[in-house]
Structure 1
């Protein structure tokens, strides 16, 4: 077994020193849905145990040790799938503690799972843990999950992208201890008009973020905003309003964490135009009954929409979700 803290500290310190020379060869050996060697970093989804993926469920059910993101992973999920596993809450623990914990358990032959809320790819801080583990000789990989903005859109019975309303989606977070003011681009996204802006890790800063938007000439104060607290949890709550009044509503509700903020017309699901997908373009005909021009936008949009998920595109804190 590798020696303790000193080696782990070196691995953690060097975790960001990935080679820029090319992709890891395993990229071409495995798909995202495959079970692989090592410790899986699993996206637990937004909260409801039913939104854990089938692959994630299989791996969690078999685990001896589950390192989870504290209260950000619902107790219902832990009770349903981790009843026979040792549970370790990662909140308040640094990498110098977590990496040896997972490494040692893996080297002892235990089945280890790292459980992140939402999807580890969105504000999950998974990569630095994976790199540190692999420097310790322990392979690791990611199992995707359902991110909270997708759950919020489902709750609101809308889409993040809507034809004629929102052509783009921005995943972002507000300025604060982690993000400097010059790196806060919420205002720029909202000013574009056809962007659905999804704010992660920002429940505590809704009022401040909206005040900054109101100071921008290019932002309409009546722009719709929806705040979904604990999307898919039993205590889920939805607050709707505008840039002008949503801050006060969220403050009145008393929420300081664990809510997804969606800004833009798509939050209401109103005003969209019919897509090309189920119209004449889908039959290879133009809107006037003629043959569709392969160089026009119509067939391309229909093919894209039918063949792929058009919606696809934190460092965790102690007060907000990993995702």
Structure 2
């Protein structure tokens, strides 16, 4: 059996209880070494085989899993954040299907949730934005043309932009073309929930300068939108004049 486990955004106590228990039971752990907090590996039992996938190809990862299955061992494939977001798990699962190897997926806390916690922010403020767009700039990995940043920016929704810290000048250009103002609030969150976490506030117009000034080149999330501002409407859910299934409206 193979368990794809989300390790969470960084802090070791933000992995799920289920994920933590599976790490303790695993005979083999294959972890995304470039991003996963290596302290998670302290949970591994004695004799557990540990592999860093940062230096491995997809085929090499599958070969390790195949060998473990032949030996009747349980494998944890440990991904950063939640494995469903930029985790490249589909290609692994498809090959496991071909090999008739059973697997499941354990969700994790994504770094965009960790970034919101670091910012003490709510992405979905009433009358500001009720939509969160999770995306990235095109780089060595292409992005479909219909998802080009300026097209997404036209919605003026909250944006959480992954894997783009090294592309902040073209990112700024695409955000402005899409309709965000130069003074639209923005933030860079470096290594959300890690001990070395850092939060930098600014605007769409100042994003490149913020990163350059603070030497932020990778492992950071870009957050954009008026959810970082001060203007919003109070939620209807807790408004005394608003009735719903569990509460009558006050007169």
TM-score by length of 2: 0.92
What residue number does 1:285 align with?
Answer: 249
- Counterpart of 2:158 in 1: which secondary structure? strand
Describe the shift of the 1:227–1:49 C-alpha distance in structure 2 as closer, same or farther (beyond 3 A).
same
Match of 2:167 among 192, 199, 205: 205
What residue number does 2:234 align with?
Answer: 274
Offset of 1:86 from its aligned partner?
A: 2.3
Question: Does the CA contact (< 8 Å) of 1:172 and 1:199 recur in 2?
Answer: yes
Describe the shift of the 1:153–1:217 C-alpha distance in structure 2 as closer, same or farther (beyond 3 A).
closer
Offset of 1:180 from its aligned partner?
A: 4.5
Aligned alpha-carbon RMSD (Å): 1.7
The separation in 2 between residues aligned to 1:263 and 1:164, in whole angstroms, is 16
What residue number does 1:302 align with?
Answer: none
1:240 aligns with 2:205: no
Match of 1:254 among 201, 208, 215: 215
What residue number does 1:299 align with?
Answer: none
TM-score by length of 1: 0.72
1:173 aligns with 2:136: yes
Match of 1:224 among 185, 207, 213: 185
What residue number does 2:44 align with?
Answer: 82
- Counterpart of 1:113 in 2: which secondary structure? strand
Match of 2:151 among 174, 179, 188: 188
- Counterpart of 2:236 in 1: which secondary structure? coil
> Which runs of structure 1 show a deviation greater than 6 angstroms over 4 or more consecutive aligned residues?
none
- Counterpart of 1:245 in 2: which secondary structure? helix
The separation in 1 between residues aligned to 2:143 and 2:84, in whole angstroms, is 21
The separation in 1 between residues aligned to 2:119 and 2:73, in whole angstroms, is 41
* Contiguous gaps of at least 5 residues in structure 2: none
Greater fraction of residues in strand = 2
Question: Does the CA contact (< 8 Å) of 1:69 and 1:117 recur in 2?
Answer: yes
Offset of 1:272 from its aligned partner?
A: 1.8
Offset of 1:87 from its aligned partner?
A: 1.6
Question: Does the CA contact (< 8 Å) of 2:158 and 2:223 recur in 1?
Answer: yes
What residue number does 2:95 align with?
Answer: 132
1:71 aligns with 2:34: yes
Offset of 1:111 from its aligned partner?
A: 1.9
- Counterpart of 2:180 in 1: which secondary structure? coil
Match of 1:118 among 73, 78, 81: 81
What residue number does 1:39 align with?
Answer: 2
* Contiguous gaps of at least 5 residues in structure 1: 1-37, 290-323
